[in-house]
Each structure stands twice: as C-alpha cells, then as structure tokens.
Structure 1
Amino acid sequence: MGGKRKGRESKGLEGEEDNMADGGYRSSNSNSGHGNVDSNAKRQLLPSMIKNKEKRSAVHAKLKHQKKLEKRKKIKARDAAEKRALELGEEPPSRKIPRTIENTRELDETICKPDDDELFAGNDADEFSSILKQEQTPKVLITTCRFNSTRGPAFITELLSVIPNAHYYKRGTFDLKKIVEYAKKRDFTSLIVVHTNRREPDGLIIIGLPDGPTAHFKLSRLVLRKDIKNHGNPTSHEPELVLNNFTTRLGHRIARLLQSLFRVEPNFRGRRVVTFHNQRDFIFFRHHRYIFETKEVKQADLEGEVAKVSKAEKKSQEKTIVRLQQFGFPPATRPKYGIVEVLMWQKDGLQSALIGQEKHQFQMPNKECGPRFTLKLISLQHGTFDSKGGEYEWVHKPEMDTSRRRFFFERRGL
C-alpha cells in the first residue's frame, strides 16, 4: 500500500509541475463548466502548495532560473538599444528609476524650507539659542543609571574624548531630578545619562539645561574603538560637526539638541569630524579623523592607466567612463583631492592628457576613531526630566508604524 501511495503522489506532483510550466492550473474534471475552468485558471499553483519537499524545492529552483533568464534578456535588450542609439548619434533611452522607500516616502507639510521665516524666528528664541549664538560655552555632565555594567564605563570614556568640556560623575543612589538640580547650580548646559541593561548600554537620555528639552533614545549596535579595525586615535582639538537629513520640524529640533553638545567654532587643524547621519529615523554616529597625503605618480603608472583604457576599448565601442584621480597640482599649491569622471572617446586624447611629466596625486584617507553606534528616538519631553507630570512633545507609538514609507525626521517636501 505504501509503495502504491507514493507512486500516486509522485505522478500527481509531476502533473502539477507540467501544469505550472504551462502557466496555469489544469482542472482535473474535463467535463466541468466554463465557470470551473475560469476559477481554476485564476488559481496558479505556487511552490508552497506542493507538500513534497524535494519536488517543492525543484519547482522553486526552476521558477527562479526562469526569472533570472528573463531578467538577463531584458538587460541585454536594453544595452543593445543604448549601443544602437550611441552609434547613430542619438540620445539613448532613459532608464527607469526603481521604486524605493526613499523616493516614495510620504509627503510632509512640516518640512523645513530655507525661506521659512517662522522657523528661524523660533530658533532665535528656543532653549539652544544662547549656546549656538556663542553667548554660553557648552558644558556637559555625563552619568549612568543606578546599576552600571562593564561596558558602560568604557563607552563613557570614549564619549568624554568625543564631546569637549564633558565631565563624568558617578550616579550612586541619587535620583535623576536631584542630579538635574545639581547640574543647574554648577552651570552645566546638558546632561547625558547612559542606561545599561544586561551588561550592555541600550539607552541614552539627553537633557538640555536649564529649561530642557529631554530626549530619550534607544541605543544599539555599539562598537567601541578597540573593536574597530585599523582605528585611529583622536586628538584634543575641537571637532567639526556634521548633521545630515534632519529636514522636518521634529528633526530640526533634535539636530539643534545634538548641536548644543559641541562648540560652534571647531578647530580645523585637528581634522576631526563628528557625524550624526539620519536615515529612516535612525541616527548613525561616526567619529573620523582625516589625513592629507601627497603621493607621486610616475610615467609608468600613467602608461598603465592608458593600457587599462585601451583594453576596455577593445571590448566595447561605447564611450568609456574612466575614473581617475586629479593630476597637475604640485604640493606647494592648495591641495585638491577627489575623483573626477573623465569622458573619453579616443585613446589618443587620453594619452595626450595623461602622458607627460611626473604628476602629484592627492588623497584623503579617513581614520575612524570610534565609538560607533545608532540612536532611535523614543520620546521628546518638554522641559527637564519628569516621568510622571511631564509634557511630551513627541512619543513614538506602535500605531505610527503602520506605513513603511512614513518617517518623522526626514520626509519628502511638497
């Protein structure tokens, strides 16, 4: 009985695979009416509907291979059309822009615009105006939660090296409200509380003093300096601050809160950069130190670049986009760096542009100094920390996550 049953199942599965190759589902009852045929035609056999594991994986692999072949055919047809247009001297057909979460994000009326006078008037009267106008020097107090962990002090040590004029105080058994009053009396402008759980820092509370606001962040993906490969060591110079993609009113307020931790006038000789990059409401923190290097490029290296381009020309008749470093700036002049796209149509023109006297090539490698972590805003409270009677400006709720294209720090404008 078992062998006959397996035989019937295998025959039935083979029939299902044949039906799937034909592009639909064949009805077992040939005498049924048109209504049954139409309903069965609408129903396509999916690999998940096959109970046999081996047959299911085989059908899935076959479908995947067919999709790959179709995609390859489309790419070849598109490249052939572009090549034909270039040979005829016409403009190639424009490529379709893929739909992503970034370019299909929801519109937002609270987007910050450069000509928004109301926004700039509010900036002159908010809690951070005295610091950002250089009327007051930032002074930061850093502490922990009551139950500290082993990685907490190491993380705080690196925060002290990143934030200038920052001081660490042990929490002990003091209440956070008493610590806020203590910091106000000693002219601190900000208070940072590092929260830890299960021996790992998992939260960050930033309180603006003396009038707030209080921002509670979830901290994740912490990587200390010692765990970063080929890391650099920071200096005592004032860092340069970079804030990216804080375009809404809420994002603008969070950016000013983060900006109030650092002095407005950085020391560019130190070549230190602190970056808060917002992407999809996740704030990525990076700390780098860049270095200028001058490197001589000799005749043999330039001829090697020409050989690479000539080899590429043999493969295709299309124009070749050659990415080269900028040449022709001696070390005594102002340093220029970066990669330039040079559109080359003839090999002779490239040779005349490259082959000559010895050139100088400028590079700017970055050394990450750490730490590296990610922040996610949980709540923004008006005033200093008050968990019971405080007024919240913004609180993240699960009901807000109904759309994957809705963001609160960075949105597409009208």
Structure 2
Amino acid sequence: MGGKRKNSAGTTSGHSTQEGGQHVKKKEKIVETLLPSTIKNKEKRSAVHAKIKHQKGLEKRKRAKAREAAEQRALELGEEPPLKMIPRTIENTRELDETICKPDDEELFAGNDADEFSSILKQDCTPKILITTCRFNSTRGPAFISDLLTVIPNAHYFERGTYDLKKIVEYAKNKDFTSVIVVHTNRREPDALLIMALPDGPTAHFKLSKLLLRKDIKHHGNPTSHKPELVLNNFTTRLGHRIGRLIQSLFPQDPNFRGRRVVTCHNQRDFIFFRHHRYIFETKESKQAASSGKKIKDNKDEESSEQKVIARLQECGPRFTLKLISLQHGTFDSKGGEYEWVHKPEMDTSRRRFFM
C-alpha cells in the first residue's frame, strides 16, 4: 500500500510539473500576443516591448539582405534591378494645393518684376537693415541680435527705448533703410520676429523657437565679413514664394564665394529652419583606392582616379526655427492693418496640409 501511494504520488507530481510547464508556456504565448500597453506589470511590459522590437529588427535585416541579393543577382544577369520602395511620409502624401508654383507660371514671374522686393533683387539698391527690440528687453535679446549682425551684412542695431514702432519705421524710411527687424522677447527669451519691408511693406510676423546662440553650439566657427550665399528650400506655394523673396531681400544679391559662407532657410511642414555654416571642399581617397594602392603601389594614375571630393561643414550659428503667424499689407499696424494671410487654429485640421 505504501509503495502504491509513493508511485501514485510520484505520478501525480510528474503530471503536475508537466501541466505547470505547459501552463507557463501558454501564459508566455498569451503575453506575447498582447500589446505592451495593455500589460500592467512594468517588468513584463518592458520585456515584451524589447522582444517585439528585436523581432522587428530581425525581420528588417532579412528584408534588406533579400533586397541586396536581388539587386546583385540582377546585376550579374544584366537585368534591371528591382524598383526601390519609397516610404510614405507626410511630405510625399501632402494634400493637393492649387497655389503651388509651377516653372511655366508666367503670371508669377510677371508679378516678381513689380513686387516690393524687385528693386533689391535686381540689384538696383543695396539692402540696409535696421534691427531693434521690443520695449521690455532682456539679456538674451541683444545676444541674439549680435549674432544676427554677423549673419546679415549691412545691418545696424538701434536701441528701442520708449519709441513707438511707427516712429521707428518713419526714421528708417528717412535714413533709406530697406527693412526693419524687431526681436520680441518674453520671459527673457526671444520668441518672435517681425520683418518689415520698407517703404511699403509687407510685414511678416514669425514665431521663433529652438533658439541656439553661437556660443552654445559645440565646435562652432567664427564667420568672416564676406557676403554670404543664401539657400532657400521648399518655398513652393504662392505664399511660400512671397516669404522666400522677403527673406531674400535681407541679403545682398552678389555673394562673395571666397568667404565660403552659406545661410540656409529650409522650409519643412511650414517650419523654416535657419542655419549658418562655413564650408570647405577636400579631396579624399575612397576605400577602393586605398585597397588598390596596397596591391598596386607603382601605378599612381590608378590611385588618383579613385579620389573623390567631399564637403565639410562647420556651423557658425545662430540656429533657430520660424513659424509664420501672419503676413500683413504695408508696414506694421495692429489696429487697422489688412492681412494677406493669417494662421488660425481651425486651419490645423490635417497633418498633411501645408501652406508654404
């Protein structure tokens, strides 16, 4: 009887351990199928998330290897390689806009010859910029302006004091300034830019964010006094074209290429990213040239044919982002001014709708 009890106890305990192991595996499978956000236990949630991420990485590497193998096979057989997959982004799925400029738009080019910026862009007059602040100034405002003075040629800083903005505009017109830039600060931080084209406008009001002064940029460069080149990207609509010409009118149209300075205004999703760099071109040997140089040391012509030219950049600053709030006819008038375009919250109904 005692032996039977032991055997029966042994068999029952064996069954229980097998059933327990199967139960644990079932639990693990259930946990794997669940979304990490539905798991309350933090350790289990992070473990499941890491496992899913690892599996996705493995699948991505398998697809990349298969794609490379198919391309190599096509090259060996002399066939056309498979088409590259273009990822879906917010930019290439943008909503259609009737105001997008086309290269054959004669009306647009005819308007360029008669707009407010034509005299500067045709080099009939040189741009002269007056930069000032709001009435309640802070320490970061003049520091930002001192960086702007090194970026924009022929720019002059005047303290605001207690003067009204309309009087400053009249003074700038009498002194033959072509534009006025007002740096607005809030809580000791610059948060807005007002750019006025003189004498007849227009006036653009921008929200300023992500400001990084030159001194805060790691390994920054010091710009020279040469006139910079200007690069404008993705100003594709009528509104974007107008804002691009407004920014273009701040800079001289005869850059000095010897200085190797470039100012970039890149528009992406209606945010204008401002960057200031110095560049240099260098010749560098590719990896193939280095390997062939080890095998064939005497053949110098073959080594020189493998050299390539690379561009190196050094950021000079400042670095900031602009978001257009409004575009107003004429010079700034907060009460009776007419607006060409105003950003309103109800316009942000879709992430794929852009205005510039």
TM-score by length of 1: 0.71
Residue of 236, 247, 250 corresponding to 1:261:
250
Seen in structure 2, the aligned counterparts of structure 1 residues 206 and 82 have a Cα distance that, compared at 3 Å, is same
Corresponding residue for residue 158 of structure 2: 169
Corresponding residue for residue 335 of structure 2: 388
Seen in structure 2, the aligned counterparts of structure 1 residues 83 and 207 have a Cα distance that, compared at 3 Å, is same
Deviation at 1:238, TM superposition (A): 2.0
Matched residue count: 332
Seen in structure 2, the aligned counterparts of structure 1 residues 228 and 352 have a Cα distance that, compared at 3 Å, is same
Report if the CA contact (8 A) 1:13-1:50 is conserved: no
Corresponding residue for residue 341 of structure 1: none
Deviation at 1:294, TM superposition (A): 6.9
Seen in structure 2, the aligned counterparts of structure 1 residues 283 and 14 have a Cα distance that, compared at 3 Å, is same
Seen in structure 2, the aligned counterparts of structure 1 residues 199 and 62 have a Cα distance that, compared at 3 Å, is same
Report if the CA contact (8 A) 2:193-2:205 is conserved: yes
Q: Which runs of 4+ in 1 moved over 4 A?
A: 11-17, 292-295, 359-364
Deviation at 1:99, TM superposition (A): 0.9
Q: Secondary structure at the match of 1:115?
A: coil
Residues 34-71 of structure 1, C-alpha deviation per residue, up to 9 Å, x if partnerless?
xxxxxxxxxxx534333444444444444444434433
Deviation at 1:89, TM superposition (A): 3.3
Report if the CA contact (8 A) 1:215-1:379 is conserved: yes
Seen in structure 2, the aligned counterparts of structure 1 residues 55 and 240 have a Cα distance that, compared at 3 Å, is closer
Corresponding residue for residue 343 of structure 1: none
Residues 213-235 of structure 1, C-alpha deviation per residue, up to 9 Å, x if partnerless?
11011112222222223322222
Report if the CA contact (8 A) 1:13-1:55 is conserved: no
1:304 maps to 2:290: yes
After superposition, residues 180-259 of structure 1 pair within 5 angstroms as 180-259=169-248
Distance 2:148 2:112 in 1: 27
1:70 maps to 2:59: yes
After superposition, residues 49-60 of structure 1 pair within 5 angstroms as 49-60=38-49
Moved more, 151-160 or 61-70: 61-70
Distance 1:252 1:356 in 2: 44
1:371 maps to 2:312: no
Seen in structure 2, the aligned counterparts of structure 1 residues 53 and 248 have a Cα distance that, compared at 3 Å, is same
Report if the CA contact (8 A) 1:302-1:354 is conserved: no
Seen in structure 2, the aligned counterparts of structure 1 residues 84 and 237 have a Cα distance that, compared at 3 Å, is closer
Report if the CA contact (8 A) 1:239-1:268 is conserved: yes
Residues 193-217 of structure 1, C-alpha deviation per residue, up to 9 Å, x if partnerless?
0011122111110011111111011
- Kindly provide the amino acid, as one letter, of the partner of residue 379 in structure 1: S
Q: Secondary structure at the match of 1:365?
A: strand
Distance 2:76 2:342 in 1: 58
1:145 maps to 2:134: yes
Distance 1:270 1:59 in 2: 55
Corresponding residue for residue 74 of structure 2: 85
- Kindly provide the amino acid, as one letter, of the partner of residue 374 in structure 1: T
Report if the CA contact (8 A) 1:232-1:369 is conserved: yes
Distance 2:247 2:121 in 1: 11
Residues 346-402 of structure 1, C-alpha deviation per residue, up to 9 Å, x if partnerless?
xx9xx8962479x98765433322222111111111111011111111111222222
Seen in structure 2, the aligned counterparts of structure 1 residues 290 and 15 have a Cα distance that, compared at 3 Å, is closer
Distance 1:369 1:208 in 2: 26
Corresponding residue for residue 277 of structure 2: 288
Distance 1:232 1:258 in 2: 23
- Kindly provide the amino acid, as one letter, of the partner of residue 187 in structure 2: R
Distance 2:23 2:165 in 1: 70
Distance 2:255 2:45 in 1: 62
Distance 2:276 2:156 in 1: 19
Backbone CA RMSD of aligned residues: 3.0
Distance 1:362 1:93 in 2: 30
Percent of counterpart pairs with the same letter?
77
- Kindly provide the amino acid, as one letter, of the partner of residue 271 in structure 1: R
Report if the CA contact (8 A) 2:293-2:303 is conserved: no
Corresponding residue for residue 345 of structure 2: 398
Deviation at 1:185, TM superposition (A): 2.0
Report if the CA contact (8 A) 1:144-1:171 is conserved: yes
Report if the CA contact (8 A) 2:149-2:155 is conserved: yes
